[in-house]
Amino acid sequence: MASWEANTAHHDDEAAMVERARNGDAEAFENLYRQHRDRIYGLVWRLCGGDKALAEDLLQESFVRAWQKLDSFKGKSLFGTWLHRLSVNVALSDRRSRMRYLERETALEGAAERGATGDKDVYAGLRMDLEQAIARLPERARTVLVLYDIEGYSHAEIAETAGMAVGSSKAQLHRARNLVRKELEK
C-alpha cells in the first residue's frame, strides 16, 4: 500500500471515529485521545514552560473542551489540526487567567513579564539544554517561539491566536531566539 493510501485510510478511520464520538461514543473519543495525547501534551508542556503538573491540567482541559465542542468540528481540517488549535487556545486562555490573578494579587515590578516557572535563577549553575532554555523564557516570548519555530504557525496566525500585533510576534520571536542563544552559551 502506498504511503498516501495509508494516510487516506488513517484519515478516513479518524473521521469515522470523530463521527462516532460526536454521536456520544465515549470509546471512539478515548481512541482519539490516545492518538493525540502525546503531541498535545508536548505542545502545552512547552507553552507552560515545562511545568509538568500544569501541562497535565492543560492536556485534560483540552480534551474536555474538545469533547464539549465536538459538534463545532466541521471536518474542514484534520481533527488533529483542530485539536491542536483548540489546545493552544486553552493554554493561552489559562495564561491570561493566571496573569490576571497575579496582577490582582501581586504588584508587578515595572513592565517586567513574570515567567511561569517562577524565580529566574532556579537553574543557575546547571548546564541547560534547549528545552530548559525555552522553559525559562518570558511567557510571551516562549509562546511565539514554540508556535513559530516548533509548531510551524505563521506570525499572522500567532498574532490572531495570542492577541498581539504581527510586529509584536516578530519582535518576541527575535527576543526569544536571542535569549535562548545566550542561555545555551553559558
Cell numbers for 120: 529566574
Listed as own residue / partner, the contacts of 166-174 with beta carbons closer than 8 Å and 24 or more positions apart are 169/144, 172/140, 172/141, 172/143, 172/144, 172/145, 173/141, 173/144, 173/145, 173/148, 173/149
Res 147 pLDDT > 90: yes
Mean per-residue pLDDT over the chain, rounded: 83
Q: What is the pTM of this model?
A: 0.68
CB atoms near residue 182 (< 10 Å): 10
Output the pLDDT for position 119: 45
50/135 Cα distance (integer angstroms): 6
Least Cα distance to 44 among 157, 151, 172, 152 occurs for 151
Spatial contact of 166 and 159, defined as CB atoms under 8 Å apart: yes
Q: What is the pLDDT of residues 107-116, one digit of tens each?
A: 444 434 444 4
CATH of the structural domain 1-106, one choice from 1.10.8.60, 3.40.50.720, 1.10.1520.10, 1.10.1740.10 = 1.10.1740.10
Which residue is associated with the grid cell 483548540? 86
Spatial contact of 139 and 54, defined as CB atoms under 8 Å apart: no
Fold type of domain 113-186: Arc Repressor Mutant, subunit A (1.10.10)
Q: What is the pLDDT of residues 70-114, one digit of tens each?
A: 999 988 889 999 999 999 999 998 888 877 766 655 544 443 444
Residues of the chain with CATH 1.10.1740.10: 1-106
pLDDT grade for 122, boundaries at 50, 70 and 90: very low
